[in-house]
Amino acid sequence: MAFEPPAELNITDYFLDARVRGGKGEKCALVAGPRRFTYREVQALANRFAHVLRGLGLDAEQRALVALPDVPECVGALFGIIKAGAVAVMVNPGLGPEEIGYFYEYTRARVLVVHAAVLPAFAAAARSGRWLRRILVVGGDPGDYVSFEAEAARVPESFDSVPTHRDDACLWLFSGGTTGRPKAVVQSHLSYVNTTELYAKATIGYRESDVTMSVPKLFFGYATGSNLFFPFSVGATAVLFPEHPTPEVVFDQIRSHRPTILVNVPAMVSQMCAHPEAPRQDLSCLRLMTSAGEALPPDLYRRCKETFGVEVLDGLGTAEMWHIFITNRPGDVKPGTLGRVVEGFEVRVCDDFGAELPPGDVGALWVRGRSRAIGYWQQMEQTAASFRGEWYVTGDLVSRDADGYVTYAGRADDMLKVNGRWVAPAEVEGCLLCHPEVRDCAVVGVADREGLVKPHAFVVLKDQGPARGGTPLADELKAFVRERLAPYKYPRQVVFVADLPRTHLGKVDRGKLRRA
C-alpha cells in the first residue's frame, strides 16, 4: 500500500478538509437539484453540525443516529459527527416504528439527526427510548425539538476536528443479511482510507473530473463510499437526489447532471434495461457503471452493454470489510464473475475446516486486509465465529478459476438441499432472468407437507397486465429452467408478485418470502 495512514487519523480531514487545504475549496463537491456546494461550503456545513451537536451534549465516542434523505445536510451531519469525535450511525429515513425503536435501543444513540418530513415517526418511537437525549431536526418545523438551521446561524463555520486514532470506531454499518435483525458492524477510520486507496483510486481509477451518482442511498455503505467518500478523496463531484429511485427518476437525473460513474444494483440495472424508453436514453456520459449488493447475471450484463453501451463492473464487498474487495475492472470484465481480488486484499476459497480448495471448487469465501471491522456490536459469539485472526469468513460461497476470477454461488445460509443435492438459488434466479417475460425474481426454499425443502420462485413480470401470470406461464418458466439446468433444480412453484420485499439495505428479504 503506497499510502500509510498516520496513527492520528480523522476521515473528515482525509476526505474533506484536505481538499480545501489542497486548493480545491471552490471546486463543486455536491449537486442536489438546483443546489450546488463547493468543498469549502461542505466543510463549513460540517463544522456547523459539529458545533451544534457538541452543544447538544454529544461527546467523543458516543453514537449519533442520522435519518436523513440524500441531501447536502446528510453529508454535513455525517462529517460533523465524525469531526466531533463521535460515531455516526446512518439509517434509512423511511423506517417503520418497530424498526426505529430497535435502532434506538440497539445503538444507544444519544442524539438523533432527522429530517422534518419523517420527524413524527422518529419522535413517537423516541418517547419510549432509554438512551436518546436530544433530537436535531433538519429541513422544516422542529416542533418541540431543536432546529439545525436556527442553531447553525449562531455558531462559527470553523471547527478543529477532535484528534482520533486510526483504529477508533468511526462509522457503524449494518450487515446486509436477508433474514433477522440487522447487526451493527463497527468500523474504524483506517478501513475507509484503506479501501479508498486500494479500490477507488488504484483499481477503479476515480479522478477529479468524475461526476458520480448513486441508485442506492447514502445510508447504504456501498453508496457512502462510491458516491461520497471516493469522489471526495480525489476532488470530484457527487450528485444527490432524495427521490425513490425508479428508472424514470434515474434517467431524468442522468439527463440533468451527466454523471461519468453510475453506482447501481442489479435490480435497477434490470428495470432500466426493461424500460420501454431504454433504447432512446442517452447514457454516453457514463464511462462506467458499478454493480454490487447481489451478483449480476451475465445475461443482464450483456443486455445493459447492448442497450446503453456502458460497461458494468460487478463486484463483491461486505460491511465487515467496509466495501468492495473483489471486482471486475475497466477494460477487464468477465461476465458472470465478480472479477478478481483487489490488490492489497487476500482471499481464500475454503472447505468447512478452513482448508483452501483448488481452482473451480465451490467453498466459503475468506478475506483479509486492513479494512477489516473491529467486530459486531453486542454480538461476541457471531464476532468470534466470523472474525478469525486476520481473516473474515464472509458466509458467501464462491469458486475461483485458474486466472483468479471469482464466481458467486450464493450465501451459505441460503443454499437449498433438494433430493439430497445442493441447489444455489442464485443459479436458478440467473436462469429465470434469461426468460424474456421476467423482470426480477427470487428463489427460496419452502418445506412441503412432508417437511422436505423445495425451491419456490417468486417472479416479477415485465408485463403485469391482468392476462399475464397464470398457470400456463408458470409451467413455461418451470420447463425453461428444467431445459437449462439439472432437472432437480427447477422451482416446484412459481408465484407471481408485483414486487419483491426488500430489507433496510434494499436486498431481497428472503425470510419474508419464506413466510409468504
* Contacts of 150 by beta carbon, 8 Å cutoff, 6+ apart: 142
What pLDDT, on a 0 to 100 scale, did the predictor assign at position 177? 46
Over range 323-329, report the average pLDDT: 98
Distance CA 11, CA 82 (A): 8
For the chain, the straight-line distance linking the first and the last C-alpha, in angstroms and rounded, comes to 48
Q: Strand 63-67 relative to strand 111-115: parallel, antiparallel, unpaired?
A: parallel
For residues 195 and 119, give the distance between their C-alpha atoms in angstroms, rounded to a whole number.
Answer: 34
Residue 348 cell numbers, joined: 481464500
The angle subtended at Cα 157 by Cα 152 and Cα 161, nearest 5°, is 110
Interval 445-501: pLDDT, tens: 988 877 778 899 999 998 876 656 678 999 999 999 999 988 889 999 999 999 999
The more confident residue out of 317 and 507 is 317
Residue 378 and residue 106 in contact, taking contact as beta carbons nearer than 8 Å: yes
Write down the pLDDT at residue 1.
46
Lowest mean pLDDT among 83-92, 199-208, 391-400, 504-513: 504-513
Burial of 21 (0-12, 13-18, 19+ CB in 10 A): exposed
**Interhelix angle 97-107/119-126, nearest 10 degrees:** 50
pLDDT at 507: 77
Output Rg (C-alpha) for the chain, integer angstroms.
23
Mean pLDDT of 73-83: 98
Helices (H), 244-389: 247-257, 266-274, 298-308, 380-386
DSSP string, 24-83: ITTSEEEEETTEEEEHHHHHHHHHHHHHHHHHTTPPTT-EEEEE--SSHHHHHHHHHHHH
Q: Do strands 169-174 and 134-138 pair parallel, antiparallel, or not at all (unpaired)?
A: unpaired
Pair 216, 506: CB distance under 8 Å: yes
In angstroms, the CA 431 to CA 446 distance is 19
Q: Which domains does the chain have, with CATH numbers?
A: 11-26+38-188 (3.40.50.980), 416-515 (3.30.300.30)
Contact between 26 and 137 under an 8 Å Cβ cutoff? The reply is no
Pairing of strands 288-291, 312-317: parallel
Q: What is the mean pLDDT of the chain?
A: 93
* Model pLDDT for residues 13-33, shown as the tens digit of each residue: 999 999 999 999 999 999 999
Q: What is the mean pLDDT of residues 322-345?
A: 97
